[in-house]
Amino acid sequence: MNFITEAVAKAVKSLYQIDLNPADVNLQETRKEFEGQVTLVTFPFTKASRKSPEQTGQEIGAFLQNQVDEIAAFNVIKGFLNISLSDTYWLGKFYNEVLADDFGFIKPNGQKVMVEYSSPNTNKPLHLGHVRNNLLGYSVAKILEAAGFEVVKTNLVNDRGIHICKSMLAWQKFGNGETPESSGMKGDHLVGKYYVLFDKEYKKQIEELVASGQSEEEAKKNAPLMKGAQEMLQKWEAGDAEVIGLWKTMNSWVYAGFAETYKRLGVEFDKYYYESNTYLLGKDIVEEGLEKGVFFQKEDGSVWVDLTADGLDQKLVRRSDGTSVYMTQDLGTAQLKYDDFHMNESIYVVGNEQDYHFKVLFLILEKLGKSWAKGLYHLSYGMVDLPSGKMKSREGTVVDADDLIDEMEQTAKEQTEALGKTEGLSEVDKAELYHTIGMGALKYFLLKVDPKKRLLFDPNESVDFQGHTGPFIQYTHARIRSVLSRVASSDNTGSTVSKLFPEERDLILLLNQFPDIIEQAAKGHNPAAIANYAYEVAKAFNKFYHERSILQAEDEQTKQFRLQLSAASVNVIKKGMGLLGIEVPERM
């Protein structure tokens, strides 16, 4: 569209003698109830033209039509100049750009970006909240890749700490040597079971202590289970062989379970970081901060940073006993990641309850003079809530990721069977199809909304398969594939159509936007932009499909053109859905 903005600048200069930066020309899509594809708002020029918006529009329109070949017609309504570009122009766009194999994806820009996501605790299985995180992280990584970045996907596993000791202790006390093999349970679920059990038994002990006269607070501290867990953590830090052995065993169970869930979710990582390796990092940075005067020490030896001048609080960065806190660790890990990859940008996909933490983290790094600090970004997303309120692993009020995937597959199966679309499919094909559709529905449901908004999920209300959904888009894909499969390869080299029907033009216009949408989604770290776009494309195709026959087109040229238009549509849909981590079936 650059040629239009330039032409407008020229028109305005020639007509009204004002110099206009082409970047200031504001073009927008023409609303569909009017004739044309591109609209110029003429109000900003009326001061210079000293004429009414309508007259100004007429004058600019006439000038443009005269000067620019591609402009076929124009009309002015109120202050809006609607420009119609010729079908030749749109067909040129279609053949030269949209139909190219690498259409949509932007050339490498030489920038490297890290996306850290998932970051689970190893004391319990993944739940719906993690699912949103994983899908967001994976999709953002894909989108950035498409936008030309080199992407490193990382997972910082929280594999140590008191919460893991709780699971370990409960297993030791009540587990009777139970293993994933002996119980038939998935490893992460088995460990999670003991985490819940710990909490249950712990509460019992508190009650007993309270009954025997202790205050609630005392009881929480004195309960034998809590003491045991703390003792275990100390032993772990001291390198106690038995504790470390148990820790390794139970973690390996969890990892096996996670690997399975990640595979079903379709996410992956290039690099894992483990907190057991990074939790001691950051002490150098504390020293550095003290030297630079960014941090200060209190009488008891604890080290702090004062951010009150920035509207924040004082924040502890090292305990009085010399040990690290969360912030210390994250400072160190940030440095480690940068040293490993020297990336230009680093994105942390973490829930919005940690907004404050990241604000502080980034600010500290900036104050320390880290040149790379400005490339840090917290992709903060809203919580997933249930109608009953917040999910709590300890209390078992969570929507488990594996259960959810099972349910989605089951629903996909029921829907597909009800529609009688399973004919001729092997059992393996069917299972794969149900997985594809079920996950398509779930992923689309979670990704189509703006990440920063909180999400309400009602387990009693099934995720839709009709309308603005993943399966709708998947279905469109399958239908196009079905049409295309009916013809042999279509490599027409001869002439093509010269006129477009509205449905065809609309579709070309929409397809043409794909690269812009990718760029916009990358800039805003927002998969929802892709999701909504893919829906628009599917809808536009369905309309075209309904109005115009492809295989029974009026003539051979039209048929070839429509086949190519279908191929371009299927391509964009497949790529777009791929950016969301959603697969598309050949039939459904």
Partner RNA sequence: GGUCCCAUAGCUCAGCUGGAUAGAGCAACAGAUUUCUAAUCUGUCGGUCUCAGGUUCGAAUCCUGAUGGGAUCACCA
Cβ of residue 212: shortest distance to RNA, in angstroms? 26
Specify the residue, 179 or 277, whose C-beta has the smaller distance to RNA.
Answer: 277
| Residues whose CB falls within 8 Å of the CB of residue 54, separated by 6 or more in sequence, listed in order | 76, 78, 79
Cβ of residue 469: shortest distance to RNA, in angstroms? 6
Cβ of residue 213: shortest distance to RNA, in angstroms? 25
* Residue 214 touching RNA (CB under 7 A): no
Cβ of residue 558: shortest distance to RNA, in angstroms? 12
Cβ of residue 178: shortest distance to RNA, in angstroms? 26
Candidates 162, 256, 259, 431; binder of RNA (CB under 7 A) is 162
* Per-residue interface string for the shown chain with RNA, residues 276-315, x marking contact by CB under 7 A: ---x------------------x-x-x--------x-x--
Task: Tell me which DSSP letter residue 308 carries.
Answer: G
Contact 513, 533 (CB under 8 A): yes
Specify the residue, 180 or 437, whose C-beta has the smaller distance to RNA.
Answer: 437
Q: How many residues bind RNA (CB under 7 A)?
A: 90
Phi and psi at residue 129, to the nearest 5°: -60, -45
> In angstroms, how far is CA 458 from the centroid of its own chain?
21
Site for RNA in 341-400 (CB under 7 A): 352-357, 382-383, 390
* Residue 532 touching RNA (CB under 7 A): yes
What DSSP assignment string belongs to 249-306? Answer: HHHHHHHHHHHHHHHHHT---SEEEEHHHHTTTTHHHHHHHHHHTSEEE-TTS-EEEE
- Single out the segment in contact with RNA by CB under 7 A; choices: 66-74, 250-258, 331-339, 526-534: 526-534
* Residue 336 touching RNA (CB under 7 A): no
Specify the residue, 367 or 543, whose C-beta has the smaller distance to RNA.
Answer: 543
What DSSP assignment string belongs to 503-536? Answer: HHHHHHHHHHTHHHHHHHHHHTT-HHHHHHHHHH
Task: Tell me which DSSP letter residue 51 carries.
Answer: S
User: What is the DSSP pairing of strand 384-385 with strand 455-456?
Assistant: parallel
Mark 88-113 as b/e (b = at least 16 C-beta within 10 Å). ebbbebbeeebeeeebbbeeeeeebb
* Residue 158 touching RNA (CB under 7 A): yes
Cβ of residue 208: shortest distance to RNA, in angstroms? 24
Specify the residue, 362 or 472, whose C-beta has the smaller distance to RNA.
Answer: 472
Site for RNA in 224-283 (CB under 7 A): 275, 279
Contact 129, 351 (CB under 8 A): yes
Specify the residue, 20 or 180, whose C-beta has the smaller distance to RNA.
Answer: 20
Specify the residue, 371 or 388, whose C-beta has the smaller distance to RNA.
Answer: 388
Residue tagged 């598309």 (tokens): 584
Is 350 in a helix, a strand, or coil?
Answer: strand
- Single out the segment in contact with RNA by CB under 7 A; choices: 195-203, 206-214, 527-535, 569-577: 527-535
* Residue 542 touching RNA (CB under 7 A): yes
Cβ of residue 246: shortest distance to RNA, in angstroms? 19
What DSSP assignment string belongs to 393-437? Answer: TTTTBS-BHHHHHHHHHHHHHHHHHHTT--TT--HHHHHHHHHHH
Contact 506, 540 (CB under 8 A): yes
* Residue 539 touching RNA (CB under 7 A): yes
Cβ of residue 545: shortest distance to RNA, in angstroms? 5
Taking phi first (over 0 means left), then psi (-120 to 50 degrees means alpha), and beta for anything else, what does residue 161 get?
A: left
- 30: its two tokens: 């023409």
Look at the chain and count its residues.
Answer: 588
* Residue 44 touching RNA (CB under 7 A): yes
- 188: its two tokens: 């992460």
Candidates 226, 331, 437, 568; binder of RNA (CB under 7 A) is 437
Cβ of residue 461: shortest distance to RNA, in angstroms? 8
Site for RNA in 67-106 (CB under 7 A): 77-80, 82
* Per-residue interface string for the shown chain with RNA, residues 461-500, x marking contact by CB under 7 A: ---xxxxxx-xx--x--xx-xxx--x--------------
User: What is the DSSP pairing of strand 345-351 with strand 112-116?
Assistant: parallel
Specify the residue, 77 or 244, whose C-beta has the smaller distance to RNA.
Answer: 77
Q: Which residues pair with 392 in a beta bridge?
A: 397
Cβ of residue 512: shortest distance to RNA, in angstroms? 14
Q: Which of 57, 188, 210, 187 is nearest to 127 (CA)?
A: 188
Site for RNA in 445-464 (CB under 7 A): 448-450, 452-456, 464
